[in-house]
Structure 1
Amino acid sequence: MRVFFAIELEEEIKDYLFSMQQKLRKICNGGNFTHKDNFHLTLRFMGEQSEEQLLSLKNALTAAASEAQSFELRLWGLGAFNKGSKKIIWTGLEKSKELQGLYQSLETALEQEGYPREERSYSPHITLARETRLESGFLETGIIPVERLSVRVASISLMESARVNNRLCYQAVHKEAFRF
């Protein structure tokens, strides 16, 4: 089973991101746009895991969630990662000590379950589109402003990534709520 840890988003945020995405579609040369139901904030991608490994991942999720309290994040702007001649377009989130703390708690819990720590630094973002082509300087123009909407974080989920009827779908296989 192909899995990752994520923060699921409320419908209002997904609706807003979808409206931003529609503006992007008009100015992008092609691309693979994230389905509205799949918008999320990845904490850590784990890849293919066995049933036995899933139990370890659930244990890590429970440990990380037990230390967390609900908090708020804010959207902050558009950005892109280069992937060859194409881009992955995303919206970022303001820096948050609570999010960084949650990420570190998850990393520690995964390490205790026998998984190595992530080598890359954590760069929180919500992917809007992959494999797009944009004119140089597009992101600097601010042509698509991003409202600094509040994103409520009250739980963490272990998500499965699977193809259903030829469409990529993300489904929570385990979820833990935070203290309030």
Structure 2
Amino acid sequence: MRAFIALELPQDFEADVAVLARQLQAQVRGRFMRRDTYHVTLAFLGEIDEAAARQVVDAMDLACGGAPAIQLVPDGLGTFGRPHDATLWLGLRLTPELDALASAVRDQLDVAGVGYDQKAFRPHITLARRAALPRRPLDGLMFPAPATACRVTLFKSVLSQEGATYKALYRAALGG
């Protein structure tokens, strides 16, 4: 199964991200993500089997046990790729707590021998794919207020022509 570990967004924050995405849709062409796909990836695992999934659950428990809830602070928009075919995302401030959580998850995966994408952690929420950005500034955008995230989730990702669908397989609580 194709899987990843992510920080789930609080519902109010997720709703505010959806408002921002609707504002962007009026100014940017692209394939905008569904609200139920918003998350902050901590580690992309790729294809794993059931045995590896059990190891991932153990790694998550070790990494999240005693970890504080995470403050999500929007930090502007960014892109991966070319301006006429980009992935558009909402960046989040890399707080010491968020950095420590991502590092702890990745460290525990290393200890368990579970592979993951080694790209540097860059906290963001993907808003659109295949986005064509205008040459003018984006106006009138309302960014979400900071919020606190309390759950780290192992997601199964199923790809189809309509896009990805994510199913939560396991959740670990943050903040005691």
TM exceeds 0.5? yes
Q: How does 1:10-89 map to 2 (within 5 A)?
A: 10-29=10-29, 31-83=30-82, 85-89=84-88
Per the alignment, residue 125 of structure 1 pairs with 124
Write out the 4+ residue segments of structure 1 that deviate beyond 2 Å after TM superposition: 115-120, 144-148, 163-168
Contact 1:77 1:146 (C-alpha < 8 Å) held by counterparts = no
Gaps of 5+ in 2: none
What count of residue pairs does the alignment treat as equivalent? 176
Per the alignment, residue 9 of structure 2 pairs with 9
Secondary structure of 1:27's match?
A: coil
Gaps of 5+ in 1: none
Deviations 1:69-126 (A, max 9, x none): 1131211211111158401111111220000000111111001111357532211000
What is the distance in 2 between the residues matched to 1:24 and 1:145? Answer: 8
> How far off its partner does 1:36 sit?
0.7
Contact 2:84 2:132 (C-alpha < 8 Å) held by counterparts = yes
Deviations 1:130-164 (A, max 9, x none): 0111123x4xx352434351221212110111258
What is the distance in 1 between the residues matched to 2:33 and 2:81? Answer: 17
Contact 1:159 1:173 (C-alpha < 8 Å) held by counterparts = yes
Contact 1:13 1:151 (C-alpha < 8 Å) held by counterparts = yes
Percent identity of equivalent pairs: 26
Length-normalised TM-score, structure 1: 0.88
Per the alignment, residue 153 of structure 1 pairs with 149
Inter-CA distance 64–45: structure 2 relative to 1 (3 Å threshold): same
Per the alignment, residue 97 of structure 2 pairs with 98
